[in-house]
Amino acid sequence: DTGVSQNPRHKITKRGQNVTFRCDPISEHNRLYWYRQTLGQGPEFLTYFQNEAQLEKSRLLSDRFSAERPKGSFSTLEIQRTEQGDSAMYLCASSPRTRNYEQYFGPGTRLTVT
């Protein structure tokens, strides 16, 4: 397994701009998760996919946030009209069909909104 990869690793953007992050899960993992981690806090769940279906969304995921996993492989997380409060580490994780309780995390994308 090559591990979960995320791009970009760092993103600096100005308030009001749109940003998009990409996550490539471990091959053949059918579940993919997005979490957000702010400084000094644990990761907070945002949303997850089983194959291409988005099965759960947190209340944290406002209407400015959208996530997709069109072919059941990679996923994108888009934030529209970014706000300073969106500054955080965005983590992606994936889990295999047979052991879906085990989540493998990527290195994260650090977003800074100025």
Partner 1 sequence: AQSVTQLDSQVPVFEEAPVELRCNYSSSVSVYLFWYVQYPNQGLQLLLKYLSGSTLVKGINGFEAEFNKSQTSFHLRKPSVHISDTAEYFCAVQTGTASKLTFGTGTRLQVTL
For binding to partner 1 (CB under 8 A), which residues are involved? 4, 31, 33, 35, 40-45, 48, 55-56, 58, 91, 93, 95, 100-108
How would you classify the pairing of strands 31-37 and 10-13?
unpaired
Smallest distance, Å, CB 48 to partner 1?
6
- Label residue 27 exposed, middle or buried (CB < 10 Å: 0-12, 13-18, 19+): exposed
The residue among 17 and 112 lying less far from partner 1, judged by its C-beta, is 112
Give the residue with the Cβ less far from partner 1, 9 or 64. 9
CB of 83 to partner 1, least distance (A): 23
Question: At closest approach, how far in Å is the CB of 100 from partner 1?
Answer: 6
